[in-house]
Amino acid sequence: MSRAQNNARGRNDETPENLPAASPAKLALALFGYTVARMLLVVVVAAVILFGGRAVGVDVPFIVAAVFGVLIALPLGMFLFKSLRLNVNTQIAAIEAQRRARHEDLQARLRGGK
């Protein structure tokens, strides 16, 4: 069974040893980069629609260009920025694995183990 199938079924076989070192700051930076890239894609697509329409003699309203920019950029960004998205997912998984390990350690100490 692949990792994607395990994750889709709610199972995560990744251990803290298999994941890169993560911190909330690294996650915030990765998320910021992904968000900025997606927003810039929306602006670029909207500008292409707006100025492309003017180039062929059609006056496209700004709001129409913006709405279509968002609609086109949503699926396009998933493919263009796959590495950024996977980086964010990896950072989240690493932080979650660290949190889970700390929680299990605390539970073991509360039960009298260690």
Position 39 scores a pLDDT of 97
Q: Within a domain: residue 14?
A: no
- Kindly state the average pLDDT of the residues 69-87: 95
pLDDT value at residue 13:
52
What's the confidence (pLDDT) of residue 112? 86
Q: Does residue 63 lie within any of the structural domains?
A: yes
For the record, the structure tokens of 65 come out as 């260009």
d(CA 11, CA 1): 11
Determine, yes or no, domain membership for 6: no
In a domain, 13, yes or no: no
Looking at the domain assignment, is residue 74 inside a domain? yes
Q: How far apart are CA 5 and CA 69, in angstroms?
A: 32
Segment (H or E) for 85: helix 82-111
Q: Which of 88, 101, 89, 103 is nearest to 28 (CA)?
A: 88
Q: Give percent helix, percent strand, percent coil of the chain, each to the nearest 5.
A: 75, 0, 25
Residue range of the domain that includes 63: 22-111
Structure tokens at 6: 């395990």
Contact by Cβ (8 Å): 52, 72 = no
- Going by pLDDT thresholds of 50, 70 and 90, the confidence category of residue 14 is low
| Mean local confidence (pLDDT), 9-22 | 58
The pTM for the full model equals 0.73
E-state strands within 3-51: none
68 lies in some domain:
yes
Contact 49, 60 (CB under 8 A): yes
Q: Per-residue pLDDT tens for 19-45?
A: 667 789 999 999 999 999 999 999 999
Domains held by the chain: number: 1
